[in-house]
């Protein structure tokens, strides 16, 4: 057998599906908020005028819509970045403190770990043996304690800057969809109806993206995503109608 044949095949980089799964939270939250934010401008104006959006003109819709789109996108992207940085810093601090506690009082921490293992289904004798083995590896024991005892997940390769960027991009891309008819059409009532249709299509696309990433039930992924976005849009329209009526 040749040397080339005996060597393991090189692993490729992460697939597009894997990258989508890694950033699903940012894609869904950013996309949904972007759609709702910009459609709220369109729906609010439409609800406020007896003749709909045609009374105020496409320029006003675009000015207000784009201003909100990019301002909120930057805010959400930076918020995601700061939130993840804070979570990572907090985890690192508690992880280091847990390792120190294991070093100072290994018996107490071993007993606590044994109790956690029993809550996970291990018999008492096996839980005690496993806890003693884990005590020899404080970083691993600290990981499990924070995860099972406090619900904190290790950040591992999480990149706050990349997650913030994904939130920003998802917000802008999906959020531009409700505004797109006003870039190319006159501000008529038909344009508003087209914006409604485009918004629903964007929500459907977001639901499909969620389904592809999670492989959850297709109907559930679509209905939940469309329902949440539609409720927010209806609220915006009703408020505009209530204030402008």
Domain assignment present for 175: yes
pTM of the model: 0.72
Does the pLDDT at position 241 exceed 80?
no
Going by pLDDT thresholds of 50, 70 and 90, the confidence category of residue 101 is very high
Burial (CB count <10 Å: 0-12, 13-18, 19+), residue 21: middle
Mean pLDDT across the stretch 99-112? 92
Does the pLDDT at position 7 exceed 60?
no
Split into its structural domains, the chain has a count of 1
Map tokens 């209806």 to a residue: 234
Of 93-97, 125-129, 209-213, the one with minimum mean pLDDT is 209-213
Better pLDDT: 23 or 56: 23
Q: Centre a 10 Å sphere on the Cβ of residue 178 and count the other Cβ atoms it contains.
A: 31
Domain assignment present for 147: no
Structural domain including 168 reads 16-103+161-239
| Measured distance CA(215)–CA(162) in Å, rounded | 24
Give the per-residue pLDDT at 2.
41
Going by pLDDT thresholds of 50, 70 and 90, the confidence category of residue 120 is confident
Give the per-residue pLDDT at 6.
39
Better pLDDT: 23 or 151: 151
Domain assignment present for 216: yes
Domain assignment present for 131: no
- Residue partners of 129: CB distance under 8 A and separation at least 6: none
Of 86-90, 127-131, 133-137, 208-212, the one with minimum mean pLDDT is 208-212
Domain assignment present for 135: no
| Measured distance CA(94)–CA(88) in Å, rounded | 10
Domain assignment present for 112: no
| Measured distance CA(79)–CA(167) in Å, rounded | 9
| Measured distance CA(27)–CA(71) in Å, rounded | 18
Give the per-residue pLDDT at 183.
86
Does the pLDDT at position 135 exceed 50?
yes
Domain assignment present for 85: yes
Domain assignment present for 77: yes
């Amino acid at each position: 057998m040749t040397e080339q044949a005996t060597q393991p095949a090189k692993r490729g980089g992460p697939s597009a599906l894997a990258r989508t799964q890694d950033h699903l939270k940012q894609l869904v939250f950013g996309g949904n908020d972007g759609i709702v934010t910009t459609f709220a401008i369109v729906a609010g104006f439409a609800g406020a005028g007896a003749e709909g959006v045609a009374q105020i003109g496409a320029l006003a819709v675009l000015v207000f819509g784009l201003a909100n789109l990019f301002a909120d996108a930057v805010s959400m992207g930076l918020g995601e970045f700061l939130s993840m940085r804070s979570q990572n810093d907090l985890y690192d601090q508690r992880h280091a403190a847990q390792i120190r506690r294991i070093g100072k009082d290994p018996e107490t921490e071993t007993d606590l770990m044994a109790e956690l293992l029993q809550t996970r289904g291990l018999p008492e004798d096996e839980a005690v043996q496993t806890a003693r083995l884990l005590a020899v590896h404080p970083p691993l024991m600290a990981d499990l304690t924070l995860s099972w005892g406090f619900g904190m997940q290790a950040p591992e390769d999480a990149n706050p800057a990349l997650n913030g960027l994904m939130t920003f991009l998802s917000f802008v891309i999906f959020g531009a969809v409700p505004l797109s008819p006003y870039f190319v059409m006159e501000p008529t009532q038909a344009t508003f109806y087209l914006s409604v249709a485009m918004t629903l299509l964007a929500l459907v696309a977001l639901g499909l993206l969620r389904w592809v990433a999670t492989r959850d039930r297709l109907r559930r992924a679509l209905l939940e995503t469309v329902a949440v976005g539609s409720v927010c849009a209806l609220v915006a329209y009703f408020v505009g109608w209530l204030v402008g009526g």
